Structures are given as structure tokens and as C-alpha cells.
Amino acid sequence: MRETPLHVRSIRTIRRNNPFRVLGEHRNFRIFWIGQTLSLIGTWMQVMGEGWLALELTNNAFLVTLVSAVGAVPVVALSLQAGVVADRLDKLKIVRAMQALMLVQSLTLWIVTLTGHVTIGWLLGLSALNGLFSAFEIPARQSMIIELVNREDLAGAIALNSSGFNLARIVGPAIGAVVIAGAGIAWCFALNAASYLAVLVGLFMIRLATRTPRTRRTEGSEMRAGIRYMLRTTEVRVIMILVTGVSICAAPYLALMPVVARDRLGTGAGGYGSLLTAVGIGGLAGALFLAAVGRRVARGRLLLWSTVVFGTMLIGLATTRHFHVAWLILLVVGCAMILNGALCNALLQSLVPDEFRGRLMAAYSLVVVGLSQVAGNFVAGAVARVVGPQWAIGGGATLVLGLTAWAYTEHRELARL
């Protein structure tokens, strides 16, 4: 038997390790990823602008986090119902409709800010409206990814989705800082509205196979069936507990970054944008690494180490008052955070049968978006208001480390997934 030439084996290895291979092999996912990434650049500009505007309007750490928290209330209230809708209806049509409504929301925020009518009430109301649309958009979009690729490439596609998110986190705040300095906060919102056109164009170019209608039961019985599946499947249940702990205790550090930037590190809007960019660079590196090795890595073991590093680095962030040290820490935080999120998402989607996919992703978004911003941001904002943001960030990270130790001690099978 002839041995494969070395140069042929090298080419095959490069192709196998290419983190962008999924984009080249799946047209629909390529179109989706490009449009979504461009839209997310605008979203991160808006996130930065809203946080800084809330701080300027109120000078109150709790109200800064409240802007994010209010947007998550509809996600908490409606995600499980939205999961049933995603499992029943055409996911692509749901995503198109919700993205169009988000475009209208961004235009409204731009107009009230540009005309000088913006108040903290406007910010809270429009944030809640965006949350209503997100409650239906997120589970439909998350559960649609497998239809854009296939089960074998799902982990790589989720990692690439995360890479687009983090590329946007790098570019968005950097552009946002320039726009705020040169033209004003309102134009961050205008550019976000324009960016929604990119994702809408892409969504209308995607063509998916016609779905076979599923036999419908009552909404309540379908919700209960999804909840029973999550509670009775050990691996799914433990991963969801870990996701919940990280989302509530650790993820709210992002909502406190305007306060950390100004009050702990002594910087302005430009420095705040630079700190968000550091998170994005680290996250992009982590996502590309996972996209390259997603088929071969021991994902359960990598999840353990990424969560431990995430919590440890957040404790480091809580203790430093030096901008450049914080910037380097946030590089590692971004990498570990995106590995944690992408691995949890990929593990859950690899375990769930298709019939429960929309409901599981709805529960996932309820926790990651809803509980993180409602429970997590409320608690973090309240603690920061009383004793300072360093205690909110460091205390939450310590709780995450304890939860991770419990999960992997009591359920050793996680390391083998």
C-alpha cells in the first residue's frame, strides 16, 4: 500500500484545521455569517453608545445596568413560548421579521437622541422593546444554524458565529468611540440602523429546504415536554446549571464596564471602547481556535478550563486599578468567555434531538440573555452601587469557580463529552 505523499498530507491537515472551512462549504451559512457580522458591528456601537449615554444622563451605576436589564425582561417572560413558536413555524421567516422590527427600534433611538428628546425613560422603553423582538429572534436564529450547515459542522459553525460576534466587538466599539468623539452618540444608533439592512439582505438571499409541518399539541403541553427533557437528561441539566451560574454571576461584568472604565481606571469613552475591543480580540482568538479544532478537541475538558480561567481573570480585573493591566486581563477574559459560551451551546445542540431544538435554545437564551441581564445585572448593579464594581465582579467570579468545581466533581462524565 503506497504511503500518502507528505505534501498531500500537509495540505489535508491545513484544510482540516482551517477555521473558515465551514464558510467555504456551506453557501447559506456564508451569507448568514457575513450579514450577521456586519449587523453586529452596528449592535456593538449601539451597546457602547447606550451605556455611555445612560452614564451621562444619570451618573448612576445601578441605572446604567438597568438599561441592559430591562431589555432582558421580555426574554425571561417570553423565551419558552418563543421556543415553541420556533419549533412550530419557519425559523427563517421569524428571524427576518424580528430583524426588521429591530431596524425600526434603532431608527427611533437615533431620532430621539439626535433631536435632544432622549431621557433615561426613552432608553429604558426602547431597550424593553428591543428585548421583546429578541425574545423571538434568538431561539429561532440559534436553532436555525443546523439547517444552514449539518450536524457534523455544527460546532465549527457555532464557533464561527462567535468569531463574527467578537470581530464585531472589536470593530464596533472602536468605530463607536470615533463616532462619539467626532459626531455624537446619536450617530452610533444611526449606523446600527443602517447595519440591519446588511443582515436583512443576507436573510432574503438564503434558501432552505421546505419543512414538513409538525403535528401540533397545545402550547402548554409542548413547553412542559421541553422542560421535562431538560430536567431528565443529566448532561443537559448540568450544562444548563453551569450556563446559568456563569450568566448570572460572571457575565454582568460587561454591564459594569462603563463604571469600571471611568471610576476604577480613570478613563473616558475612548478608553471604555478600547477595553471592549480587548474583550473582542480575545474572544475572536478563542472562537477561531474552537472553529479550527472543534471536531477533535475534548470539549467537556476544554469547557472546564475555560470556565476556571474566566473566573480567575475576572478576580484579577476586580483587583487592578491600572488601565493597561486591565486591558491585558480582558484579552484573556474575552477568550475564556467565548470558549465557555460556544462550547456550552455546541454541547447542548449536539445532545438535543431536533424536535426539542427550538425549546432548548429558547431556554438557553432565557438564561444567557434574560437572566444574565435581569437577575445578573440587577444584582451586580446593586452591589456596585453599595460597595463598588470590584466587589460585584470579584464576588460573582468566585461563585462561578465554586459552581464549576461542584459540576465537574459530582458529574465527572462532563469531562468526557
pLDDT (tens digit per residue) in 62-91: 787 788 778 778 877 888 888 888 888 888
Cα separation, 383 vs 385, in Å, equals 5
Average pLDDT, the chain: 83
Residues 6+ apart with CB under 8 A from 373: 68, 69, 71, 72, 75, 252, 255
Enter the C-alpha cell of residue 134. Answer: 429578541
Task: Compute the CA torsion angle 212, 216, 219, 222 (nearest 10 deg).
Answer: -80
Cα separation, 407 vs 263, in Å, equals 35
Half-sphere exposure (CA, 13 Å, Cβ side) for 144?
A: 27
Cα separation, 34 vs 46, in Å, equals 19
Phi, psi for 268 (deg, rounded to 5):
-110, -155
Task: Report in angstroms the alpha-carbon separations of 320 from 106, 259, 260, 280, 394.
Answer: 35, 14, 10, 20, 11
Question: What pLDDT is recorded for position 98?
Answer: 93
Look up the CATH architecture of domain 19-206+220-416.
Up-down Bundle (1.20)
- pLDDT: is 268 or 246 the higher one? 246
Residue with cell 446588511: 198
Question: What pLDDT is recorded for position 211?
Answer: 59
Count other C-beta atoms under 10 Å from residue 332's C-beta. 21
Q: What is the pLDDT of residues 39-60, one digit of tens each?
A: 888 888 888 888 888 888 888 8
pTM of the model: 0.72
Contact 267, 323 (CB under 8 A): yes
Residue with cell 453551569: 242
Enter the C-alpha cell of residue 417. Answer: 463529552
Coil, helix or strand for 177?
helix
Write down the domain spans for the chain.
19-206+220-416
* Structure letter (DSSP) for residue 354: G
Half-sphere exposure (CA, 13 Å, Cβ side) for 94?
A: 23
Task: Report in angstroms the alpha-carbon separations of 353 from 143, 229, 263.
Answer: 11, 10, 48
Q: What is the pLDDT of residues 298-309, one digit of tens each?
A: 788 899 999 999
Instruction: State yes or no: pLDDT of 17 exceeds 90.
Output: no
pLDDT winner (highest mean) among 38-52, 144-158, 183-197: 183-197
Instruction: State yes or no: pLDDT of 414 exceeds 70.
Output: yes
Confidence of residue 218 (pLDDT cuts 50, 70, 90): low
**What's the Rg (C-alpha) of the chain?**
21
Cα separation, 409 vs 229, in Å, equals 23
- pLDDT: is 101 or 353 the higher one? 101
Instruction: State yes or no: pLDDT of 113 exceeds 80.
Output: yes
Contact 151, 294 (CB under 8 A): no
Nearest alpha carbon to residue 19 among 166, 208, 199:
166
Residue with cell 430621539: 112
Instruction: State yes or no: pLDDT of 370 exceeds 80.
Output: no
Q: What is the pLDDT of residues 304-362, one digit of tens each?
A: 999 999 999 999 999 999 999 999 999 999 999 988 988 888 888 888 887 888 888 88
Confidence of residue 6 (pLDDT cuts 50, 70, 90): very low
Mean pLDDT of 87-110: 91
Mean pLDDT of 143-164: 79
Instruction: State yes or no: pLDDT of 216 exceeds 50.
Output: yes
Mean pLDDT of 90-112: 92
Q: What is the pLDDT of residues 19-40, one digit of tens each?
A: 677 888 888 989 998 888 888 8
Confidence of residue 7 (pLDDT cuts 50, 70, 90): very low
